[in-house]
A and B are shown apart, each in its own frame.
Chain A
Amino acid sequence: MDSEYAIEVNNITKAFKVYYDKSNSLKEKMIFWRRNRHENREVIRGISFKVKKGESIGLVGKNGCGKSTTLKLLSRIIYPDSGSIKINGRVSSLIELGAGFHPDMSGRENIYTNASIFGLTKREIDERLDDIIEFSELGEFINEPVRTYSSGMYMRLAFSVAINVDADVLLIDEILAVGDANFQRKCYNKLREIKGEGTTIVIVSHDLSSIEQFCDRSLWIKDGKIEKEGPPKEVHLAYLDYMNDAAIARQKAELERKKQEQEEAAKRQAEEERRRKEEEKRKAAARLRYGSQDAVFTDIHLLDEKGQDSNSFTTGEPMTLNLHYTVKTKVTDCVFGFGIFRSDGLWVYGTNTRIDRLPNFDIEKDGSYTVKIQHLNLIPGSYWCDITIEYGAGIPVDYYKKALKFTVFSNTADVGIARFPHSWELNI
């Protein structure tokens, strides 16, 4: 045994099996024993280092680089796949504080439970009890159940136990988030004191300055290997450079991505605008034409006296509506109708087959209907014609507003809406 070193790590590797679907039951293991698919994720790919007794080292690296796994391997929670780890002396870890704390037991009882998990005997705990209680600053609360503690008090107690174990090797993972500023300062001081007493310390942290304060040496771990080791300042400089480059690259990529995103957004917006307009148009059209569409108008015509398509008429002339429709689903108790509106929306006239007392009928196949207006007695102007297919009490099947437009002319300058056939008799 080389007693100069507290920790000797010799070319360790560690891979985790990442199961796609983990089975722990017999049935699954038997049925799927070929199918227990997993991927081996190599986290540590050959790390070696030695730590002298009394030396403090820091492990730095970005998230997922394997530094916390290294710490777990050092604490023997997990074991390396190959290589060896040798530690001389008692190990205490500040990785999971407050293990085994029981909420219903008092702080004092929990000190015994928690310290026993660190491998302390009753006598050793008795010796340290006062130190622990004093350090935790819990005072009277030490006899209260732990469940009544605030999270700060809880962490203070847990930290006090762990730090008073008097380990030869102390493993620390992101400690210094414990308690308020005062307590943190106290923790730092205690750590310095422990270091002064010759305890070997391994710290994993993202807080580089605290490592620079404490540690004699830094190991930068990158992708499961040691990238650089040496005096903390030097290593951290290289590490920060690397992280900066990575950050700049990331920023560039981010910028690029944002630019692309903006372009795409603009495109999307234009597209949306276009779609919205179309939609509006379609909606407007729909407002002009609604109903169940079981039967719909197909061919619609306005015919003049001679049976020719026309959209201009002279007042008093005949006008014929010739309307063809197609039937999709049989319409029972059908009603045909039409209406005439002046261009300003005034309803001039409207009627349908029911109003005009035609017998009830159903429509089953394509057909047409014709409305003959013998005298179109309208004052000159522009007019719209609405045409309708309804059923029952006026439920629309195809209600087609403004289906046809026509203009009325006249050489007479009478005014109003309709021309009533009339004659004058003058008795002057």
Chain B
Amino acid sequence: MFPNQFAYHRPTSVEEAVGLLQADPEAKILAGGHSLMPAMKLRLAAPSALVDLNRIDGLRGVSVNGGVRIGAMTTYRQLIDSAELRQRLPVVGEAAENVGDQQVQSRGTLGGSLAHADPASDFTAVMLALGGEVTAVGTGGQRTISADDLFVDLLTTSLQPDEVITEISIAALSGTIGAAYEKHRHPASGYAVVGVAAMLTLGADGTCQSARIAVTGATSKATRATAAEQALIGQLLEAETIGRAAAAVPQGLELNGDLYASEAYRSHLLTVYGRRVIQRAVERVRG
């Protein structure tokens, strides 16, 4: 199989990439290409042109300085290999280790994953839980979009067609944080049948100060599980509280069902994986 004909552009700056996208509304950005290229080979996507971001300097790398900044073209492999991330925010490398397979990890990028907004991708939920935001550059200039505002619907984000994500950032987090992500991996595709990400912070009195819990795979877009969050905030994180929060993860969510996993099964999986990640986040926050 091979894709339709297209023009290939290899810009060397973000500005040039934005210009190319503006000039051709049917053009698509090529980042890691591991969602786009399979879609093009199946002719599910037939863009008139590809704007390949891989030769633009400065879009790759991780810096941890209070907060965390990750270049949009940073690959999963680079996230896995970042010693700074492993120390400050191990959930990122752990999640990357379970994306696809080692070849996907070599090429797939964080920015590409967020911009594609696959309903079963891993980092949509992870970024929602971590309260991340993306920096996007377009003809209208530069802006930041919080993960909460980025995912609009199935494969749909609030990015404009001529906007390029350049960076993902996670603000400096005060106090002790604990974060975890786990998924029920589809045995064939490796995508999340359901995935749950959680980030908790503790107050000085040992109660949960903030909780962000997000799910993927279960709904048409990655979504916060607000009922579960509310069950944790202000509480001492004991087994009973964790159980109550886990049971609340599916609450209020419009769940998908398919041949592999019905809505009811996904709901059950959300409570199981919810309990696991909240438990792990609690263990982490307590050090």
Q: Do A and B come from one complex?
A: no
